[in-house]
């Protein structure tokens, strides 16, 4: 009898742990992982396949990645061919019954820009904080479908994060106003900032196209160099996830300074903080990444 009582008490003690068991989620990029963490909070355990400085255009899943994806309750990825090397893998997992969600696929088609050849939309949607905010509610619905008990909490957190991104969107517009209109030209390694440019009033030129699968050719470098000289562009920018050689060559040949390093296809290091004008932000979040990029661009071009 005494042993039975001990077993009952042990089971009762374990109930809170079972009740609080977290959803296991795998996300591809840091941007997607951050979105899921913001919406899921401490009810969700999120693992990102790609860390700081990793180029998702070229990333190929390892055997360990595939195992993680197969074990996950939910899988979130950007879509729109950002993770081009993994598209077939996601299709297979989806057909086998895996719960796979492309967060950018929820954005209305008329809000998306086209890729270089028009074959698919430009996937770099997080560059526009207002546009990225549209992905929060669909993530909440996907989490709620897997964990209905906490649906209201996911919806509340999604709305809170949407509001934070909208606030960041308004801040970025105001911050870019510090740069004279004639100087609002953003030249970077590859064409990852079209949404940012459209949202915040910058002319954007990428030496490479939307994908980094092919390197910039000499003709591309010469063309951009001539443009800089003609327009008297003050600065060009390297990217954290793209080789810097082309931009460094352009800087040397054109006389434009390197204005800094921008985060394009990957977040910065989680927990690395920056303080500008009394405001502190984490480069390992989408909000922090956007603020870091906008501040870097403004300081170099104004």
Q: Would the pLDDT of 12 be above 50? A: no
CA separation for the pair 250, 255 (Å, rounded): 8
Residue 4 binned pLDDT confidence (cut-offs 50, 70, 90): very low
Taking only the tens place, the pLDDT of each residue in 211-266 is: 555 566 788 899 999 999 999 999 999 999 888 999 999 999 999 999 999 999 99
Query: Per-residue pLDDT for 10 more than 70?
Result: no
What lies within 8 Å, CB to CB, of 291 at 6+ separation is 168, 171, 172, 274, 276, 279, 281
The confidence band for 160, taking pLDDT boundaries of 50, 70 and 90, is: very high
- The answer to whether 267 and 30 are in contact (CB under 8 A) is yes
Mean pLDDT across 196-209: 93
DSSP code, position 264: S
Going by pLDDT thresholds of 50, 70 and 90, the confidence category of residue 139 is: very high
Q: What percent of the chain has pLDDT over 90?
A: 80
Give the least confident one: 2-11, 79-88, 168-177: 2-11
Q: Are residues 132 and 125 in contact, defined by beta-carbon separation less than 8 angstroms?
A: yes
C-alpha closest to that of 220 among 246, 255, 244, 183: 246
**Each residue of 123-150: b (16+ CB within 10 Å) or e?**
bbbbbbbbbbbbbbbbbbebbbebbeeb
- Which domains are seen in the chain, by residue range? 2-168 (3.40.50.1980), 176-301 (3.40.50.1980)
21 — pLDDT class (breaks 50, 70, 90): confident
Q: Residue 11: its pLDDT value, please?
A: 40
Specify the higher pLDDT residue, 120 or 224. 224
Q: How far is the C-alpha of 242 from the C-alpha of 246, rounded, in Å?
A: 10
Q: What is the pLDDT of residue 118?
A: 77
Q: Which of 3-12, 172-181, 279-288 has the lowest mean pLDDT?
A: 3-12
pLDDT confidence tier of residue 97, bands split at 50, 70 and 90: confident
* 167-176 pLDDT per residue, tens: 999 999 999 9
* pLDDT for res 20: 59
**Cα 253 to Cα 240: distance, rounded to the nearest angstrom:** 22
For the entire predicted model, the pTM comes to 0.89
């Amino acid at each position: 009898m005494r042993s039975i009582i001990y077993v009952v008490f042990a089971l009762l003690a374990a109930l809170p742990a079972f009740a609080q068991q977290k959803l296991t989620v795998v996300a591809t990029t840091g941007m997607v992982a951050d979105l899921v963490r913001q919406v899921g909070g401490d009810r969700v355990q999120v693992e990102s396949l790609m860390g700081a400085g990793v180029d998702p255009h070229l990333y190929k899943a390892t055997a360990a990645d595939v195992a993680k994806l197969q074990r996950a309750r939910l899988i979130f990825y950007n879509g729109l061919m950002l993770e081009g090397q993994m598209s077939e893998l996601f299709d297979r997992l989806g057909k086998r019954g895996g719960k796979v969600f492309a967060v950018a696929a929820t954005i209305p088609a008329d809000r998306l820009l086209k890729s270089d050849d028009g074959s698919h939309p430009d996937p770099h949607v997080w560059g526009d904080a207002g546009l990225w905010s549209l992905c929060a509610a669909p993530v909440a619905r996907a989490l709620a479908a897997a964990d209905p008990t906490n649906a209201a909490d996911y919806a509340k957190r999604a709305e809170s994060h949407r509001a934070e991104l909208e606030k960041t969107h308004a801040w970025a517009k105001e911050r870019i106003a510090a740069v004279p209109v004639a100087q609002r030209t953003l030249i970077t390694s590859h064409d990852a900032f079209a949404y940012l440019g459209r949202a915040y009033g910058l002319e954007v030129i990428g030496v490479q196209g939307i994908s980094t699968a092919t390197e910039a050719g000499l003709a591309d470098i010469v063309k951009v160099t001539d443009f800089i000289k003609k327009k008297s562009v003050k600065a060009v920018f390297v990217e954290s996830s793209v080789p810097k050689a082309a931009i460094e060559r352009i800087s040397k040949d054109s006389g434009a300074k390197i204005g800094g390093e921008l985060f394009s296809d990957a977040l910065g290091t989680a927990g690395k903080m920056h303080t500008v004008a009394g405001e502190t932000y984490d480069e390992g979040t989408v909000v922090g990444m956007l603020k870091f990029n906008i501040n870097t661009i403004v300081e170099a071009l104004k």
